[in-house]
Amino acid sequence: MTEIVAGPATGAIARSTGAFRRAIRRWRFHAGLFVLPRLQTRHSLMQGIAMNMLSRFAAVLALLMGFASLAQAHEYELGPLEILHPWSRATPGAATVGGGYFTIENKGDTPDRLVLVSSDIAEKVQIHEMAMSADGMSSMKELTDGLVVPAKGAVELKPGAIHLMFIGLKHPLKEGEPFLATLSFEKAGTVEVKFVVGPAGAAGGEAEHKHN
Ligand SMILES: [Cu+2]
């Protein structure tokens, strides 16, 4: 019976401490090659779990935001046009004008034009454009030729820019009390839309500029 008690490597280690150190270094190197990828695997597994939780969280958040925006966002289709989320703002007690905002998208190959807006809540509705005068004061100008919606394009009506002006309000606009208005386009025709009314005093408020 033969019993091997020491292999060549053990002999080498025994022979010199230098060889022993080299062997240890070599072992660490190989162990490192072996251990590091495992650590990385475990790390990316944790990352995977974190990402998974994050994406679930994002999905839930998106769902909640979807529900929230369902109550707020609304849109209307009129031929190739889409009118997105008409909204306005509550007016302070004595105000006789209010603003109206929405986005018009035109999927069609020809431009169209918003030519007329009317609503029971106001004596008249104008399409206004904001302009900055030389002295830095903002003023408004009525777009008497209407508002062009470019082909395959969009126009956004928003505070401080192009907007609808409800002039001669029959009653103040109150937050949470929507109202109706009729938009007439040169080509696409007419659509009645609901304006949701948000809080007063958002940036670039209509109350801030003068109407004659
Ligand atoms: Cu205006």
HSE, side-chain direction, 13 A CA sphere, residue 86:
22
Mean pLDDT over 108-118 rounds to: 98
Domain 75-202 homologous superfamily, CATH: PCu(A)C copper chaperone (2.60.40.1890)
Task: Report pLDDT digits (tens) over 39-79.
Answer: 444 556 666 666 676 666 666 655 555 545 444 568 999 99
Task: Report pLDDT digits (tens) over 185-212.
Answer: 999 999 999 999 999 865 433 333 444 3
11: Cβ–Cβ under 8 A, 6 or more apart, which residues? none
Task: Report pLDDT digits (tens) over 124-148.
Answer: 999 999 988 788 888 899 999 999 9
pLDDT at 176 over 60: yes
The confidence score (pLDDT) of residue 4 equals 46
Every domain of the chain and the residues it spans: 8-71, 75-202
**CA 34, chain centre distance (Å):** 47
pLDDT at 85 over 80: yes
CA of 138 to the centre of ligand 1 (A): 10
CA of 166 to the centre of ligand 1 (A): 8
Percent of the chain predicted with pLDDT > 90: 52
CA of 127 to the centre of ligand 1 (A): 7
